[in-house]
């Protein structure tokens, strides 16, 4: 059995068009990514959707057909089974820090701290911070507008009050004259 176009499309959409190992997207790389057999076909893996991962060319190239064959062989992180946060911590400088043996091995095999990828993570972080600040700024402008509106309404109320006050005084004075 081979991977049909339909399966490929399913894997692609399921992964949200991003490499499930390193997170780069089709838009980042300017093209579609590859489909990887987590358990390589050459080592007995099948074409089940559960064994297929959307994977960038680099990660696929570094992963090759790794599969633990001896009891002491380290396991590779399976992004379909566990979230990245189980094995890695993303540091402020854009590098990944491994939290587990699987994390350390995966980091080394797939070179998840390769410089362009670190730069990519940093840029993504900056963009997220930029978006956060922009949203905060927009909310602040909205609050200011609301304050201005309330201030205008208050001034209008005050003007009305003054008008009524002078009408009242005028009334009092006219009664006194009578
Ligand atoms: Zn990748």
Ligand 1 centroid–CA 53 distance in Å is 10
What are the tens digits of pLDDT across the range 55-106?
999 999 999 999 999 989 999 999 999 999 999 999 999 999 999 999 999 9
Answer for the pair 33, 56: CB distance below 8 angstroms, yes or no: yes
Distance from residue 132's CA to the centre of ligand 1 (Å): 26
pLDDT score of 14 more than 80: yes
Q: pLDDT class for 175, splitting at 50, 70, 90?
A: confident
Give 125 Cα–ligand 1 centroid separation in angstroms.
18
- Tell me the CA–centroid distance for residue 22 and ligand 1, in Å: 4
What pLDDT was estimated at residue 176?
A: 78
Note whether 106 and 87 are within 8 A (CB). yes
Structure tokens at 132: 């956060």
147 to each of 11, 74, 96, 136, how far by Cα in Å? 50, 61, 45, 16
Amino acid 177: pLDDT: 75
Ligand 1 mean position to 79 CA, how many Å? 11
168 alpha carbon to ligand 1 midpoint, in Å?
79
Cβ < 5 A residues, ion ligand 1: 19, 21-22, 56, 59
Cβ neighbours of 34 (radius 10 Å):
16
Q: Which two tokens stand for residue 123?
A: 């840029």
Q: Are 98 and 107 in contact (CB under 8 A)?
A: yes
What is the tens place of the pLDDT at every residue in 116-174?
999 999 999 899 999 999 999 999 999 999 999 999 999 999 999 999 999 999 999 99
């Amino acid at each position: 059995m081979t991977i049909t176009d339909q399966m490929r499309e399913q894997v692609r959409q399921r992964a949200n068009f991003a490499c499930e190992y390193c997170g780069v997207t089709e838009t980042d790389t300017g093209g579609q990514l590859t489909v990887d057999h987590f358990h390589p076909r050459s080592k007995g893996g099948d074409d089940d959707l559960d064994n297929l991962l959307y994977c960038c060319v680099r990660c696929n190239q570094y992963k090759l057909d790794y599969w633990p064959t001896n009891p002491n062989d380290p396991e590779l992180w399976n992004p379909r089974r566990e979230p990245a946060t189980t094995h890695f911590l993303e540091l402020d400088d854009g590098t990944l820090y491994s939290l587990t043996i699987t994390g350390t091995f995966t980091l080394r095999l797939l070179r998840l701290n390769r410089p362009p990828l670190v730069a990519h993570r940093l840029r993504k972080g900056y963009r997220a911070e930029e978006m956060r600040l922009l949203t905060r700024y927009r909310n602040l402008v909205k609050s200011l507008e609301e304050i201005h509106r309330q201030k205008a309404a208050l001034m209008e109320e005050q003007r009305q009050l003054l008008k009524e006050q002078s009408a009242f005084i005028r009334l009092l004075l006219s009664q006194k004259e009578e």
